[in-house]
Amino acid sequence: MLILAVLYLGYSTIRTLNGNPLSMPKAKKIANEYLNQAYPDNKLIISDGTYNIKFGNYYFDIKGSSDTNVNELVIQEGLKTIEDTNKTKELNEKVKQYITANSNLSFEKMEVNGTVFFTSDNFKRNDNIWIGLSGEDLTNEKIANFGKSIMNWSKENGLSLNRLTIDFTNLTFNESFRLTLEDNKLDEQDIVNMIKKTE
């Protein structure tokens, strides 16, 4: 009984610090399969990986032949999705550039935090975009039009937009609102009516 207790304690400690020992090789296999499909012409080296107990994710640093950091892959708990941090960075830069160059909105502060992830079974891409805005003249109607323009822009640029979330604060009235759009529900109702006040 004492031996079994010690073995269980050891297994629990390893699982807590490094993730499920049985799942780490599976996560690394998924990461390698994704790299072979996404970067077929690059000679990439994958790290052994680490586990984040707080989020339940597996992290793999990816390096090129020159030992420069190319990107990081995050395999989410359950091994169902893969986040490619390089593609996430590219997405956020594209969104910022679009807003700066094409938006008619007047705002004092902008934040963009999108995520590009792929399903681990068929590597289908999904893009989630979150935008935070604050300004004195941000009305529901303006944000609704802005949301629609982002959706149209994403289609024109070949993105696979899964969800768009816009959190905005009207500084004149000190009120905050949220607009959440999913591509398959865009035409179901007036976008202005989809904006909800937040606390």
| Per-position pLDDT tens, the chain of length 199 | 767 666 656 555 555 554 565 688 999 999 999 999 988 888 888 887 888 888 889 999 998 866 556 689 999 878 999 999 999 999 999 999 999 998 888 899 999 999 999 999 999 999 999 999 999 999 999 999 999 899 989 989 989 999 999 999 999 999 999 999 986 566 545 888 889 999 7
- Give the span between the Cα atoms of 17 and 169, in whole angstroms: 40
The answer for residues whose C-beta is within 8 angstroms of residue 124's C-beta and 6 or more apart is 118, 160
Predicted local confidence at residue 176, as pLDDT? 96
**What is the amino acid identity at position 166?**
I
| Tokens 């997405």 found at | 91
Give me Rg for the CA atoms of the chain.
Answer: 21
DSSP-H helix ranges across the chain: 2-18, 23-38, 85-102, 140-156
pTM to 2 decimal places: 0.81
Tell me the DSSP string of 95-106: HHHHHHHH----
How far is the CA of 12 from the CAs of 21, 76, 92, in angstroms? Answer: 10, 20, 38
Q: What is the pLDDT of residue 153?
A: 92
Q: CA angle at residue 71 from 132 to 160, to 5 degrees?
A: 50
CB atoms within 10 A of CB 37: 11
